Structure 1
Amino acid sequence: MKKLKILVIEDDLIEVMKLKRAVDKLALDITLLDAKNGEEALDLLGNHQNLPDLIFLDLNMPKISGLEFLAIVKKDDVLRYLPTVILTTSNNRKDVLECYKMGVAGYILKPLKYDEYVDKIHKALLYWSENELIKI
């Protein structure tokens, strides 16, 4: 598996810690960056330097929601190519449809059981480590 750099955009510190713990448990060669909200993430991505290979994005956040973040990113000539995977608890069909309409690369529901969560994260990371990612 090739090394991945992932930006996690999540306002819930416990969820960020859970993802970091899952990655540690899987012993994968991954660099995790995190932003507390879409505004902070846009600041990180703003200069188009040192971009992540993949973004895990929560939908429900303060300041700039996940959907608002997506709308901004998809208008940017460089950032639009970053694969963005929604990682959320929302199984609202309207959210799923809107996200795919906006060009997300995937939509993962966070399961309640930790082992199921780790399994989903593992599968997603394996999948993206095998994809040909655009290096800008």
Structure 2
Amino acid sequence: MSTAGSTQPERAQILLVEDNPGDVRLTEEAFKRGRIDNDLHVASDGNEALDFLSQRGSYADVPRPDLILLDLNLPRTDGEEVLKELKDDPTLRSIPVIVLTSSRAEEDIARSYELHANAYLTKPVDPDEFIKTVRAFEKFWFSVVRLPSEVE
């Protein structure tokens, strides 16, 4: 299936908001092994994520993400605040947000859904399980689910 003038589908644009370099590497590895062509952009704290999403400063020319993977435990602006600001912004709220965090706390899960997260995944401790989780998520979100187009 091609779009007008294109011979191949567009690459998925994914924003990973994660401050742990090890988890960033595992996520990159999982997406490399996956079947979906993607560009994985990384923001290492909440402020950087909000600048990326608002295309401010050095992020003026970045693409709009098709999907956001958001850790809750971030320096400066935490994941809950990023989620709240994102979902309060009419131009950004349609971007699906998957919380991918180490927290298993019921209050974090409930709060994430109250703030309109689209899914909540707990990061497995085992690296192989982590990669399996990201690949399963990738298959679901990019093979099964229809994502919204950018609304102007």
Residue 96 of structure 1 corresponds to 109
Q: Equivalent residue for 2:39? A: 31
Q: Which runs of 5+ in 2 are unaligned?
A: 1-8, 56-60
Quote the offset at 1:8 in angstroms. Answer: 0.2
- In the alignment, which of 12, 21, 27 is matched to residue 29 of structure 2? 21
Aligned alpha-carbon RMSD (Å): 1.8
Equivalent of 1:77, from 77, 90, 114? 90
| AA at the equivalent of 1:28 | I
Misfit runs of 4+, over 6 Å: none
Q: TM-score, normalised by structure 1?
A: 0.92
Matches of 1:94 and 1:37, distance apart in 2: 22
1:95-134: per-residue Cα shift (whole Å, max 9, x none)?
A: 0000011110111111111221111111111111132211
Instruction: Tell me the TM-score normalized by structure 2.
Output: 0.83
How far the C-alpha of 1:39 sits from its partner, in A, is 0.6
**AA at the equivalent of 1:77:** P
Report sequence identity in percent: 32
Query: Which of 102, 105, 111 is residue 124 of structure 2 equivalent to?
Result: 111
* Alpha-carbon distance between aligned partners in 2 of 1:38 and 1:119, rounded to the nearest angstrom: 26
Q: Which runs of 5+ in 1 are unaligned?
A: none
Matched, 1:132 2:146: yes
Counterpart selection for 2:13 from 5, 11, 14: 5
